[in-house]
Amino acid sequence: MQTVRLPQGELEKALAGRPKHVFISGASRGIGEAIARLMGEERHNFTLASRSYNRSLGVCMDLGTQRAQALRLDLADERSIDDAVIAAESKFGPIDILICNAGINLPTPVQDYSEEGRKRFRRVIDVNLVGTYMLAQMAVQHMPKGGRVLFIGSVLARMGAPGTAAYSASKHALLGLVRSMAQELAPQGIRVNALNPGWVDTQMAQESLQRNADAQGVTLQQAMQAALNQLPIQRLIRPSEVASYVKFLVGPGGDAITGQGIDLSCGSVMV
């Protein structure tokens, strides 16, 4: 039997037309879930990875289990990261689009000198920076030309806030990671960016606002209003809005964008 070889241009077109493999960490709720549901409207295969396996599985069932799988992923566990990427690639092939959304925010006030306080600081850095980097490092190992890596950062990558030393530091560090990886991976046609949302209507934001309220001795509603009063656009961002911007950045429209930290913050940062 004679082997038929496609011209390189036609081969690239054929590869471009295949379903892409989208890997989303922290996909069980909030921003990650919104991204999965919006991008699920397109012809992609999905790996939804999080510590909340059952919630991720529920999203997969809505997308269709023939094209979506749920995996357990703990970014504080190096073995968990390696296993998740291997399992993802075993089912759907190399990862085309990696969305690093998983992260934690624990209180880390400077005045907390306790052993527990130091453990919280290390855990936030281990998950938000070290584990996130290792996930990206593993994913790009086999990522094809045209791949995308997108980190979901925070507006706190541009500023600080009381009691958030570890979280703010981790999000600042992500921007350095983005710039370094963008330059290193550009020759392979891989684009690397970060999206930095402000206050998004998620459980994590509610928990953070509740801590602010408790510290100030006010209600959650009062703490939220005080935070919104500082914004030119005085409202919470919807997870679906973040998802729409993600869809643009990882799609064809984002091909000329790399090494950037893009703010989506209702005007809290103006550069």
Catalytic residues: 167
AA identity, residue 269: V
Residue 110 phi/psi, 5° resolution?
Answer: -60, -30
Q: Which long-range contacts link 222-231 to residues 24+ away (Cβ below 8 Å)?
A: 227/199, 228/199, 230/268, 231/198, 231/199, 231/265, 231/266, 231/267, 231/268
Q: Which of 238, 16, 204 is nearest to 127 (CA)?
A: 204
State the DSSP code for 236: P
CA distances 233 to 31, 51, 117, 195, 242, Å, are: 20, 33, 34, 18, 15
Q: Which of 78, 77, 88, 46 is nearest to 64 (CA)?
A: 46
State the Cα–Cα distance between residues 139 and 101, nearest whole angstrom.
14
Count the Cβ atoms, other than its own, within 10 Å of residue 257: 15
